[in-house]
């Protein structure tokens, strides 16, 4: 963790300017009938989960360049996640990936509690083989032609549920790389039937208060066909499995120019939106920092979420899912957590009554202008004030750099060359 006195000193240097900016913005919003303190309270209560694997340096199929002070295991990962939450007050939970993060649950709970963290959805791994594994997933896992391989994959997911139950988790996220790389390699229908059967076995073992998230992805590592390739297939899966099965939307898992906010609206409409993996992309599943490429799209996604707030049972899970190849992973996750909160704050500013009227009147120009009016508001004073009041940093990245945390852990953690966990 970072010395709290350092954070206090950093905040003291910025507090007067922040107060002025916050009051000025409050005056502007009041003219529109918006109470800035109400927005700040909502933003301050919003949290997004951090993926345990996100605090390590990422890579590509071609190379990985290790960074200094990378975590050696889950306990180091939790330390890094604790720093992110300490500085942002926006990331109260961590999402674990098994078997990468497999450790004694009691020790994990104790460590997380000491850092003020809890645990979010569990993530299974059947997209790569693990040491000691009896059967290979080279040709698939939950959809494999061999029932023994499918049984092994199911058992692994049940283990994730068992571990998660001890940690207080309430959801299991299942992403598979199953598919094919050549026409004729597989019977597309039979493969999907095998997948559904295996997922039904997992679903039947869910605790009563758990949810099952299935995650779609257009391609990779299967480049000809993918078993769960788009939101339509994902929706079919959730419908087939039952009322506690939902679709997880990763912002990078779609073809370029796909209207993701419309997908979100459809899944909300039919009660099957389970949650998000936030990131950004330019070409495909780039896993770039959230909001780094298309912050307006992120805002449009949150526009749909805010419009659905208050609906019975509507509680989507929110998590970051990124690969950090050229930045300090902690800085990128700090920035991304703030960008998600920024999009949420902007969406809260949308004049929904006016928007509904313009939509009813088919006034396309004014409908778009209403959204743009909210998007253009600089809500940084709201985000910074929410952080300050929570005891976090007004400027998290500046406080992080002033702490020299990366240099300190680099002296304790030896540099490693191998991959420390993937991105899905």
pLDDT for the residue numbered 417: 56
List Cα–Cα distances, 143 to 98, 131, 205, 211, 213, in angstroms. 20, 21, 18, 21, 17
Catalogue all structural domains in the chain, each as residue range(s) with its CATH number: 44-350 (3.20.20.150)
Which portions of the chain are predicted below pLDDT 70?
416-424
pLDDT for the residue numbered 378: 98
pLDDT for the residue numbered 59: 87
pLDDT for the residue numbered 363: 98
In angstroms, rounded to a whole number, what is the distance separating the alpha carbons of residues 130 and 156?
11
pLDDT for the residue numbered 414: 84
Residues 337-367: pLDDT tens digits?
999 999 999 999 999 999 999 999 999 999 9
Q: In terms of pTM, does the model score above 0.75?
A: yes
Reading the block at residue 336, the tokens are 């991304």
- Specify whether the CB–CB gap between 236 and 201 falls below 8 A: no
Residues 5-22: pLDDT tens digits?
999 999 999 999 999 999
Q: Indicate if the alpha-carbon torsion angle 285, 288, 290, 295 is positive or negative.
A: negative
pLDDT for the residue numbered 338: 98
């Amino acid at each position: 963790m970072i010395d709290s006195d350092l954070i206090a000193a950093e905040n003291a240097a910025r507090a007067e300017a922040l107060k002025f900016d916050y009051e000025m913005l409050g005056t502007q919003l009041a003219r529109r009938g918006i109470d800035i303190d109400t927005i700040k309270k909502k933003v301050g209560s919003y949290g997004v989960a951090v993926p345990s694997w996100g605090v390590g340096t990422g890579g590509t199929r071609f190379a990985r360049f290790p960074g200094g002070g990378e975590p050696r295991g889950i306990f180091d990962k939790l330390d890094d996640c604790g720093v992110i939450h300490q500085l942002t007050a926006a990331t109260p939970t961590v999402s674990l990936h098994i078997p990468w993060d497999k450790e004694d649950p009691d020790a994990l709970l104790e460590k997380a509690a000491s850092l003020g963290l809890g645990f979010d959805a569990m993530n299974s791994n059947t997209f790569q083989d693990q040491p000691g594994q009896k059967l290979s997933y080279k040709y698939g896992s939950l959809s494999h032609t061999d029932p023994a391989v499918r049984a092994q994959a199911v058992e692994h997911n049940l283990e994730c549920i068992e571990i998660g139950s001890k940690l207080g988790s309430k959801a299991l996220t299942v992403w598979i790389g199953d598919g094919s790389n050549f026409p004729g390699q597989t019977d597309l229908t039979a493969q999907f039937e095998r997948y559904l059967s295996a997922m039904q076995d997992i679903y039947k073992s869910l605790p009563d208060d758990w949810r099952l998230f299935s995650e779609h992805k257009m391609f990779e590592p299967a480049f000809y066909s993918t078993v769960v390739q788009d939101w339509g297939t994902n929706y079919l899966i959730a419908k087939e499995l039952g009322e506690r099965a939902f679709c997880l939307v990763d912002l990078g898992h779609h073809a370029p120019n796909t209207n993701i906010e419309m997908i979100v609206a459809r899944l909300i409409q039919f009660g099957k939106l389970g949650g998000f993996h936030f990131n950004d992309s330019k070409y495909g599943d780039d896993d770039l920092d959230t909001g780094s490429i298309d912050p307006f799209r992120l805002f449009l996604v949150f526009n749909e979420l805010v419009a659905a707030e208050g609906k019975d049972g509507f509680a989507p899970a929110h998590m970051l899912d990124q690969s950090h190849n050229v930045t300090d992973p902690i800085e990128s996750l700090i920035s991304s957590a703030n960008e998600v909160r920024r999009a949420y704050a902007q969406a809260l500013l949308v004049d929904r009554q006016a928007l509904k009227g313009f939509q009813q009147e088919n006034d396309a120009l004014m409908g778009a202008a209403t959204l743009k009016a909210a998007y253009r508001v600089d809500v940084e004073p709201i985000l910074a004030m929410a952080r300050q009041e929570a005891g976090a940093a007004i400027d998290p990245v500046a406080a992080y750099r002033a702490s020299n945390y990366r240099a300190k852990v680099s002296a304790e953690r030896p540099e490693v060359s191998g991959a420390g966990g993937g991105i899905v």
